[in-house]
Amino acid sequence: MVEPRTMVPAKQLLKAIGHYAIALALALKGISKIGHGDGYGPFVGLCLVAALVIVAATALHRRLERLVPSIEAIVYLLEALVGGSIAYLSFREGKHALPWAWVAVSIMFAALSVVFFTRGIRERRGGA
């Protein structure tokens, strides 16, 4: 028997919106670099693949969490790594303020990843 859909709590909805927003930003950043010539291919691929992975992991979160309990931490880590690569690329292109925003985003996502990894470890061990 199929269970009726339940409402998603506001906290989960906000997290999902945040993940979708960063996936959109990564996809747009990757697409914007497609016509920039040599050397940008790996960056474009990284942005687009990361955006697809983030969207898929967010959309299938409940199912994936059963298989990979730390999926949320992995998504935050992926967002931190791609954000860091965008910061590096922005520094290399000579931009001044934008790279620092991406550095802050990367640090925030890396911290969230650590929080969710450690929380998951404690929960699996039976602690609070």
| Token pair of 45 as six digits | 């691929």
Residue 43: Cβ within 10 Å count: 18
Residue 101: Cβ within 10 Å count: 14
Residue 74 structural domain: 15-32+39-122
Please, are residues 72 and 80 in contact by the beta-carbon 8 Å criterion?
no
Please, are residues 52 and 26 in contact by the beta-carbon 8 Å criterion?
no
Band of residue 103 on the pLDDT scale cut at 50, 70, 90: very high
Q: Which residues contact 76 (CB under 8 A, 6 or more apart)?
A: 109, 110, 112, 113, 116
Does some domain include residue 8? no
Does some domain include residue 128? no
Of all residues in the chain, the percent with pLDDT exceeding 90 is 54
- Res 81 pLDDT > 70: yes
Q: What is the pLDDT of residues 5-52, one digit of tens each?
A: 555 688 888 889 999 999 999 999 999 988 877 788 889 999 999 999
Please, are residues 30 and 42 in contact by the beta-carbon 8 Å criterion?
no
- Total of domains in the chain: 1
Does some domain include residue 5? no
Does some domain include residue 127? no
Predicted structure pTM score: 0.82
Q: Which residues contact 81 (CB under 8 A, 6 or more apart)?
A: 50, 106
Does some domain include residue 102? yes
